[in-house]
Amino acid sequence: MINFRYHLVSLTAVFLALAIGLVLGTAALNGPASDFLQDQVSSLREQNDTIRKSLEQLQSQLDQEEEFAKQIAPTALAGKLTDKPVLLLTVAGADEKDVQGAMEMLALTGAKVTGQLDLTDNFINPEKRDELLDLVKQLLPDHVGNLPNNVNGVETASALLGAVLMAGGPEVSPEEQKMVLSGFTTGQMLLGKDTFNGTRAAAVLIIAPRPYTDSQATLRNGYVATIAAQFDKYGSALLAMPVAGGAVTIVRDDPALNLSLSTVDNISTPQGQVAACLGLASDLAGKPGDWGSGAGAESTVPVPQA
């Protein structure tokens, strides 16, 4: 908002200056009117400078807060997830910097990362839902049941992935895990670079991009929330995004989803990455929550319990 005002004032000053030049050039402006416009330009320039200085101060404050979060992270996160198996799941469009930052913070917790899986845009494409359903039928292990039985391919496919990758799912063999992952990769629903090591995760950190705004945004944002909800059935799940809105808001506004599914709305910042790690630990301890700086966040980071 401040940045927008800064540019708006700058543009207004420019257009007023142009107006003065045009009017003076045609000799159609008398002295008092010219003085008035000159005063307006000077006033706008002063406002511009004031807003610019405020913006610089806020940016400096933000930089200091981020640096503080980085410095305190090793102490704040040490031992919080020691030997806990954690899966990292990314949704198409997630910023690689967010993912890398979260991975670095996870390393400080002592967690055992079971791998990183990247869902492609096809997975959340409404036009691909039938393909997802077909994949599930082809890949479903005989003893994996109780999956959603409807036309929502994202829901059913997410449930299958959660069932075979998370510790709360039914027993499956390593071969069945590989079959499911290979099938989704061949079907272009997962990127081919999966690093899953076969260990079933107690918790999953799901990193998604900013809320979708295209013509299918409502469906796609809903699909991201659905993915998180299905994984949450088989373990602890935390959905993290750079800002509030989209899937994070869907989860926070739904009492049923919000009962056990955690969220973070500023994963692009060191503060958010710390919050995500502490949030996973809190969720595993039976205390899910919503953290960050956006609407619906209860606090910046989980509050330590007395």
pLDDT at 305: 53
pLDDT in tens, the chain (306 residues): 445 555 554 555 555 555 556 555 555 545 666 677 777 778 878 777 788 767 666 666 566 666 656 778 899 999 999 999 999 999 999 999 999 999 999 999 999 999 999 999 999 999 999 999 999 999 999 889 889 988 999 999 999 999 999 999 999 999 999 999 999 999 999 997 668 999 999 999 999 999 999 999 999 999 999 999 999 999 999 999 999 999 999 999 999 999 999 999 999 999 999 999 999 999 999 999 999 999 999 999 998 654
d(CA 185, CA 164): 15
pLDDT at 209: 98
- Give the end-to-end CA distance of the chain in Å, rounded to a whole number: 38
pLDDT at 72: 87
| pLDDT tens column, 167-215 | 999 999 999 999 999 999 999 999 976 689 999 999 999 999 999 999 9
Given a contact cutoff of 8 angstroms between Cβ atoms, the answer to whether 277 and 81 are in contact is yes
pLDDT at 40: 77
Could you tell me the pTM of the whole model? 0.81
pLDDT at 1: 45
Looking only at the bridges linking them, the beta strands covering 85-90 and 203-207 are parallel
pLDDT at 306: 43
The first and second tokens of residue 139, run together, are: 């890949």
Other beta carbons less than 10 A from residue 179's beta carbon: 17
d(CA 265, CA 250): 12
d(CA 173, CA 249): 36
DSSP string, 103-163: HHHHHHHT-EEEEEEEB-GGGG-GGGHHHHHHHHHHH--TT------SS-HHHHHHHHHHH
